[in-house]
Structure 1
Amino acid sequence: MLRKKTWMRFLIVGNILILLFLSGCDSANIDYVKTVDYIYKNNSGTDLTLEIYNSKNELLKSFSIPNGNEIKTNTTRNEVPALFYFEPFEDKIGNKVIVKFGNNKCLYYSKNNSDRIFTIKEYDNYTEELLKQSAYKLIYTFTTIDYSNSVNCN
């Protein structure tokens, strides 16, 4: 008889400990998925078009940004920022960006070269603290310096 009572006590105490442990896990649930908006501003002094191409050199998206304006290209929900990530298929992820200014001037950016536009640390508002938030915006501004660094379009 003593064995049954002792065994039952261990079962009861064990079940209570397991329930406490599991309920403690619920309260510490951390959402690692971040919602990120990608904003591109044009302060270059001239209107521009932002063209995004995939790894097959196919045009994915094109955005006209008049001087002094901004656009949101996309929003991602992921554990890390995903620049020019439109869908989870390789042919829907930006690999190359061409910025076309008026009067046939262009800037060429490539993900393979880790160019500025593909490096989140180069974005205007980037901080380590920003990345800890569950929702935020990454902002990239095209300036007069970008325009002066542009070359004739191919």
Structure 2
Amino acid sequence: MPNHDARALLTEALDFFNDHPRFSLRRDRRRNSYDLASRIEACLSAVPGPADPVIAEARDRWASSGFLRIDADEHVVTRDAQGYWVRAWVRIDPASIGEIDAVTAERYARALAALPDITRSILLAHQQDEQSIAQVAERLGLTTQEVERHIADALTRIGRAIGQG
């Protein structure tokens, strides 16, 4: 277990013991959490000296970033031929992995339902059934330009509906 994760686990355990100070230990009911909490505090207080200046530089550099976070208790720095590495967290937008919130999903469903039948069927054939524009055009007896126009119209309408607040 990485040191940072172990420290987080110990901090969580200490918080629990501080919230439940007379919590008895499972193996020996005569002992309570006081002794264990003091041992955890001693371990956590043995933090290395001040953070490496590289960490401070990384925090300054990325402070205004909305997608990168360097934990306040981070002390690990490694070096390779290209420079220094500081551990950080990267924020991933849920939409980038296909997650959408309930409000957006509802707006999408309403916008899709509000499309003209032909436009909706063209969009779904292309997106869900993975038919090419040429295949959709041939199946419906339309030109590829007409199919493209329907898809563009559908995406524009759906985009407007989802963007409404």
Q: Could you say whether these structures have the same fold, taking a TM-score greater than 0.5 normalized by the shorter chain as the test?
A: no
Larger Rg: 2
Per the normalisation by structure 2, the TM-score is 0.23
Q: Which has the higher contact order (CA 8 A, sep 6+)?
A: 1
Higher helix share: 2
